[in-house]
Amino acid sequence: MGAVRHRLESVVDEAHWDAAYKRLTASGVSWYQPLGGLSIKLVTALQLPANTSIIDVGGGASTFVDHLIAANFTDVTVVDLSNAALEFAKSRLGPGAPVEWIHADLLAWEPKRSYGLWHDRAVFHFLTDASDRTLYLDRLASATARPGYVVMATFAPDGPDRCSGLPVARYGAEDLTDLLAPIGLRVVASCREEHETPSGEMQPFTWVVARRS
């Protein structure tokens, strides 16, 4: 695949994610977490000003955005390939919610601005092709402000090898450190989390916080 992601692939992927959200609903998908989890804990620990621009890539129907609004962040963007997922979040938060919703394929999307915090929980690990990872890292590099932070979570090396019926790549903190270093992002913290799915299955995740100076 070249620099432009193939349109047909985006359409197939979008149908997959739309179907998953419609079948299971926002709170029934395996990645659902009701309380914002480590996402909000790590962001809180960064003590960012309330006007920090924050983007949740592949945010889907996640409640992370609800927690950001409750914490008084005023510049919040969610980008996702699945319109069904975004509709769950939009209807939960209501029409006046101070959120920019972007329905787009992250790998074809051209960021128009940079963000003080890039958040990705369980999205990067779906990129099993090196060319897709390059497209992602290009966007991450151009959309992260200086200074800026990245909070990223993937399945850990001993995590599941599939999610939502799709193969995933698994990472330890050192793997993510090595991936982020060439684009000027230095990992400043990392941890492991056992995520409990709505059906009670445990899924080990690797979390990293990286900083661009």
Ligand X SMILES: C[S@@+](CC[C@H](N)C(=O)[O-])C[C@H]1O[C@@H](n2cnc3c(N)ncnc32)[C@H](O)[C@@H]1O
Please report, as ranges, the residues that interact with ligand X according to CB under 6 A: 13, 17, 31, 58-60, 62, 80-82, 85, 105-107, 121-123, 126, 163
Strand residues in 58-201 grouped as ranges (E): 75-80, 99-103, 115-121, 144-155, 162-163, 166-167, 186-196
Find the residue with minimal CB distance to ligand X. 60
Query: To the nearest whole angstrom, how small is the minimum distance from the Cβ of residue 183 to ligand X?
Result: 18
Least distance CB 82 / ligand X (angstroms): 4
Pick 184 or 198: Cβ nearer ligand X: 198
Whole-angstrom distance, CA of residue 86 vs CA of residue 116: 22
Nearer to ligand X, 51 or 91 (CB): 91
Cα separation, 187 vs 212, in Å, equals 9
What is the nearest approach in angstroms of ligand X to the Cβ of residue 81?
4
Count Cβ atoms below 10 Å from residue 64 Cβ, excluding itself: 23
Q: Are the C-beta atoms of 124 and 183 separated by less than 8 Å?
A: no
Nearest approach, Cβ of residue 173 and ligand X (Å): 19
